[in-house]
Amino acid sequence: MSNYEPRTIAFGAEILHSPVALRADAVQRIHNDLYGNREVAYQNFQVAQDGIHLTNPAMAPGQISAVTFTPDRIVLREELRGTTIEDFATRVVNVVGAAYRTLQTPLSLGQQFWVRSLINTQHSNDSRTFIAQRLLAGGAESLSAFQRPMHSIGLRMTFPSTSPDQPIVNLRIEPWVQEPRSLWLEVVGQFGTPIQADKLPQLGHSLYSTYRFLTGPTLDYIGRFDLP
């Protein structure tokens, strides 16, 4: 068990389905359906070239609360709003459920979830130095071969699926430019198992699986190098 307290700053979900003829009036009905539930409501409706967007106003710089509908997917984002994983799971299941009922979509063909969090290392005040000296083979000295100062640095890893019900996982570990001590962590889980429209609560299970990869093995890995 790690000693870190991750501060999750963003959740996202991309839910794929077979292409449909996406009409603004149909998405407006979805908007109206969601509006009656404060937990998952969106205030604004917009038709744009890249899709139909339902959004909530930003109460602070950088905040995003939005769902985008395109002919073959639904993309949900909650960023810098203090959203909990329970809140986001509720939003995903209810928004996709309302959309699939209205659009008469029988199943999701695949799903992708992402979680972004910040943590403070225990024994370093500079996340760039921590990555360069602790996480890289050869330490910071190995970077001298580039003969240029380092602006930023990070790690990216991909873990394949090990069984049909396990996702492909992409992990990024980078410094957080706005706060030198913080590490920025992103885990993306890609699920290829179709989910029937009447089994949409499984979306919540996939989200939690992605989140547990961050709070479990990712933090354990960082902790192995976060030493005095």
pLDDT digits (tens, 9 = 90+) for 104-131: 999 999 999 999 999 999 999 999 989 9
pLDDT of 106? 96
Q: By residue range, what is the domain housing residue 31? A: 7-225
- DSSP-H helix ranges across 104-192: 127-130
Is the sign of the CA dihedral 200, 88, 68, 37 positive or negative?
A: positive
Is residue 73 situated within a structural domain?
yes
Is residue 213 situated within a structural domain?
yes
Summarised one tens digit per residue, pLDDT across range 62-100 is 999 999 999 999 999 999 999 999 999 999 999 999 999
CB 64 within 8 A of CB 58: yes
- Give the residue-averaged pLDDT of 203-221: 97
- Give the residue-averaged pLDDT of 192-215: 97
pTM to 2 decimals?
A: 0.94
Write the DSSP assignment of 40-57 as a string of letters.
Answer: T---EEEEETTEEEEE--
Mean of the per-residue pLDDT values of the chain = 94
Is residue 2 situated within a structural domain?
no
pLDDT band at 18 (very low <50, low <70, confident <90, very high): very high
Is residue 150 pLDDT above 80, yes or no? Answer: no
Identify the residue with better confidence: 24 or 132: 24
Number of domains in the chain: 1
Place of tokens 């969106």: 42
Main-chain dihedrals φ then ψ at residue 34, nearest 5 degrees: -70, -30
Is residue 173 situated within a structural domain?
yes
Is residue 216 situated within a structural domain?
yes
pLDDT band at 209 (very low <50, low <70, confident <90, very high): very high
pLDDT band at 1 (very low <50, low <70, confident <90, very high): low
Among 113, 111, 115, 114, smallest CA distance to 192 is for 111
